[in-house]
Amino acid sequence: MIKRPYGNTGKWVSEIGFGGWQLGNQRDWEPMEDAAAISLVHEALDRGMQFFDTAPNYGQGRSEELLGKALAGKRADAVINTKFGHGADGSTGYDASLIRDSVEQSLKRLRTEYVDSVLLHNPPFEDLDGKHGHYEVLEELRKEGKIIAYGASVDSGTEMLELIHNTNVGVIEVMFNIFYQEPAEAFKIAKEKDIAIIVKIPLDSGWLSGKYTKESRFEGVRKRWSSDIIGKRADLLGKIGFIADQDTTMTMAALRFILAHPEVSTVIPGVRNRAQLIENIAAGDGSMPDDHVRRLRRLWEDEIRHMGLGW
């Protein structure tokens, strides 16, 4: 597994990481047995995948708890990113006074004395610039050794630029994929400030795995898509079919497109089973041809940018 620098932390992370939303999450995804989840984390480590992304609200705290169990005795081999803003009890609150307790509860669930990074979890735009005390609290936690770096998880280049220009954050997690390329405009500036970039939702919530069609219907978290959006996404899959071949699945190609951006530190596709884990890791065995990257960028600029696909 190729490793990339994690901003200015001095750490290096696997360029393909482990998205932990599914661990212990029986509300948004199909149930996963605890033993299977722990085994999956162990195999990820054995295969060189050592970046793990989680949050207190993933599985109502179960994602962090399962990671903690799985990494017992292996903590030094892993880099862990968690978040603040969405609580394990289902509450949402971004007041700076809540940060310390949230982080300390995460540390307990993760069975660790520190986490490598903590991010404000999709906060309101007005909380990004630090005027409400969030980064002061996070800086205190950093000085105490409870966290190494901090930043925010956001959805757009506009939010990235707000962080880049008005704060000293060291990590930004952002949505970015073939169907949603707007944040790329801020990547170079983030790199110049030595800010680590984590890419979330790299498969467009499953669409870029190539398994959905116009006839697909969804439940759970994916029920948000209208029939019109489903049709638009299905049509786009037909236009990007050239990125896959007998040796490269659509998933592998979608991840390689993201990794073609050198500013990215790591990409965090979700993992629900061993087959997905192996396929995600296989994306690192090759690279996307430059011509394919250019064609996908043109498709975004000429057509997708103004389609309003949502997420």
Q: Which of 59, 12, 51, 67 is nearest to 280 (CA)?
A: 51
Q: Is 150 an annotated catalytic residue?
A: no
What predicted TM-score, i.e. pTM, was given to this entire model?
0.96
pLDDT beneath 50, residues of the chain: none
Model confidence over 22-78: pLDDT tens digits?
A: 887 666 556 678 999 999 999 999 999 999 999 999 999 999 999 999 999 999 999
Per-residue pLDDT at 219: 84
Rounded to whole angstroms, the Cα distance separating 268 from 95 reads 27
Handedness of CA 262, 191, 178, 304 (dihedral sign): negative
How far does CA 193 lie from the centroid of its chain? 20
Q: Which of 6, 58, 150, 180 is catalytic?
A: 58
Q: Can you list the positions of beta strands (E) in 15-164?
A: 18-19, 51-53, 79-84, 115-121, 147-154
Task: Name all domains of the chain by residue range, CATH numbers in brackets.
Answer: 3-206+250-287 (3.20.20.100)
Rounded to whole angstroms, the Cα distance separating 164 from 212 reads 36
Per-residue pLDDT at 227: 93
Q: Which residues pair with 245 in a beta bridge?
A: 248
CB 171, CB 135: distance < 8 Å: no
